[in-house]
Chains A and B, each alone.
Chain A
Amino acid sequence: MKRISYKMSFRKTLSLMLLFIALAFVLNSCYPGEELTYEDTDIVATVYDTEADFSTKLTYALRDTIARVDGDGNLEFEPEAADQQILDKIESELQAIGFTEAASYDVADVLVAAAISQSTWVGGGCYYGWYSYWYPYYGWCYPTYYTYDTGSLLIVMGDGDVPPPAGGGTVEKEGLWVAVINGLLGDNSSSTLNRVLSNIEQAFDQSPYLAEGK
């Protein structure tokens, strides 16, 4: 009688063990993680000088070319097709929150400039095929390599009220507001441009302090 009980118990334990393993596999297959679209990779970060008084900043001057940052960190000023649309968007957003264009660069309360950088990333890793669960050698996988291009648009608002140095030369001005827009570059340049324009709007939307006093 005891022996029968032992066998039944062992069978039950074994079936529960199989149940557990099955559930563990189910749980793993349900592991969270959704597909990302190109738009999902976009981020818009804005930082500002918390001591700045934006109510005194009423006029702007916008640099008419977009700088490009090369691999060594140097700036190049070679205009590209979409640059004017980006500059127009920045300008329309500035005006929408109450800034007016200054008569000249020298008298502007804030100086606004944009820069673009592009990077190609190379990644590598392991892809575990389904049947690799059963492969006897732990750590076996398909080696995979991939590349992706990312782009960043930087919009910098500097203080135009800093007086020039007495002896001439250049002066380093404080950044009042900086926006960084970053994301994966898609295959379609027009949709990428639309994302950039939409994100410029987002950068201003999430910076309500810029509109103070206007």
Chain B
Amino acid sequence: MKIKLIKFWQLLTVFALVLLFFSTGYCQKEQWYGSFTYSVSLPQGDTKEFTDEISWRGIGLDYRYVIDRAYSVGLFFGWNVFYERREGVSEVENGAIYGTSDRTLNLFPIMVNYHYYFGERKSIRPYVGINAGGYIVNQQFAIGIFLWEDDSWQWAVAPEAGVVIPVERDFGLIVNGKYNYAFTGETVFGEDMNNTFWQINVGVVWEP
């Protein structure tokens, strides 16, 4: 309970600061814009092996600076939660363990990104881009009355494709898909783990 709320407040503080930064940038310079998205994630690879459930808990914040009309560089912050309760037998090296296990992954992506936009400003603009950075990862594996927990930083990339749809002069919608791949990381038991997941994000943009 304590761990959960402290993380929540830490996250809220980071996002609040980012939002304040957004609003300042937004009011002063029109070449800055931001987006806030809701994320649904589909685990793949090692992530799927650990939690084989779709994640319906995710949010993201983007802050992009448009270099010219077709390119932007920016920052991305997010929070994605994967969870699965699994009951059954797990094979280990020289035996087996039966029980009900709770598996939780909290990923907080922090990435820089680069995007290229097709089409004209103020029109519907498809785009492609790449995010690079990593995740702050909190992984928990609980079985019986035992809990293993680990916090780590995992380097990652996330290619992205999406579309920005203007609605008003300075407001619009954004839909994008990302393939997240961490090329470092390990489980709570010290084994190699590359967190991988597909992600669909839907949200709003300021000053598209």
B100 lies within 8 A of chain A by Cβ: yes
Point out the residue from A16, A184, A202 that lies within 8 Å of B206, measured CB to CB: A16
Within 8 A of A (CB), among B43-77: 56-57, 59, 61
Is the CB–CB distance between B99 and A44 below 8 Å? yes
Point out the residue from B15, B57, B79, B144 that lies within 8 Å of A41, measured CB to CB: B144
A39 CA to B98 CA in the complex, in Å?
12
Given A13-B22, A17-B19, the answer on whether A42 and B95 have CB atoms closer than 8 Å is no
Is the CB–CB distance between B27 and A9 below 8 Å? yes
Given A17-B19, A43-B144, the answer on whether A48 and B99 have CB atoms closer than 8 Å is no
Within 8 A of B (CB), among A54-109: none
Point out the residue from A13, A24, A32 that lies within 8 Å of B15, measured CB to CB: A24
Question: Nearest Cβ distance between residue A126 and chain B, in whole angstroms?
Answer: 5
A16, A41, A202 interface centre (most CB from chain B within 10 Å): A16
Question: Nearest Cβ distance between residue A149 and chain B, in whole angstroms?
Answer: 11
A125 — nearest CB in chain B belongs to which residue?
Answer: B2
Is the CB–CB distance between B12 and A24 below 8 Å? yes
Given A16-B204, A32-B57, the answer on whether A47 and B94 have CB atoms closer than 8 Å is yes
Question: Nearest Cβ distance between residue B189 and chain A, in whole angstroms?
Answer: 14
Question: Nearest Cβ distance between residue A16 and chain B, in whole angstroms?
Answer: 6
A20 CA to B81 CA in the complex, in Å?
17
Bin chain A's interface residue count: 35 or more
| Chain A 145-187 interface 0/1 with B at a Cβ cutoff of 8 Å (1 = within) | 0001010000000000000000000000000000000111000
A44 CA to B8 CA in the complex, in Å?
34
Is the CB–CB distance between B100 and A40 below 8 Å? yes
Point out the residue from A32, A43, A199 that lies within 8 Å of B143, measured CB to CB: A43
Q: Which residues on the B side are within 8 Å of A127 (C-beta)?
A: 1
Given A16-B204, A128-B5, A183-B144, the answer on whether A46 and B79 have CB atoms closer than 8 Å is no
A137 lies within 8 A of chain B by Cβ: no
B108 lies within 8 A of chain A by Cβ: no
A191 lies within 8 A of chain B by Cβ: no
Is the CB–CB distance between A42 and B57 below 8 Å? no
Q: Which residues on the B side are within 8 Å of A43 (C-beta)?
A: 97-99, 143-144, 146
B153 lies within 8 A of chain A by Cβ: no
A120 lies within 8 A of chain B by Cβ: no
Point out the residue from B5, B26, B38, B102 that lies within 8 Å of A23, measured CB to CB: B38
| Chain A 4-47 interface 0/1 with B at a Cβ cutoff of 8 Å (1 = within) | 00100110111011011101100110111110100111111111
Bin chain B's interface residue count: 35 or more
Q: Which residues on the A side are within 8 Å of B102 (C-beta)?
A: 32-34
A194 lies within 8 A of chain B by Cβ: no
A157 CA to B11 CA in the complex, in Å?
51
Is the CB–CB distance between B85 and A34 below 8 Å? yes
Point out the residue from A6, A23, A32, A48 that lies within 8 Å of B95, measured CB to CB: A48
Given A6-B27, A127-B1, the answer on whether A20 and B100 have CB atoms closer than 8 Å is no
Q: Which residues on the A side are within 8 Å of B5 (C-beta)?
A: 128
B170 — nearest CB in chain A belongs to which residue?
Answer: A9
| Between-chain CB contacts (< 8 Å), 22 pairs | A9-B26, A10-B23, A10-B27, A16-B204, A17-B16, A17-B19, A20-B15, A20-B59, A24-B8, A27-B59, A27-B79, A27-B81, A31-B8, A31-B57, A33-B4, A33-B104, A41-B145, A42-B100, A43-B97, A45-B97, A47-B94, A48-B94
B residues with CB within 8 A of A = 1-2, 4-5, 8-9, 11-12, 15-16, 19, 22-23, 26-27, 36, 38, 56-57, 59, 61, 79, 81, 83, 85, 89, 92, 94-100, 102, 104, 143-146, 170-171, 204, 206
A residues with CB within 8 A of B = 6, 9-10, 12-14, 16-17, 19-21, 23-24, 27-28, 30-34, 36, 39-50, 121, 125-128, 138, 141, 148, 150, 182-184, 199, 202, 206-207
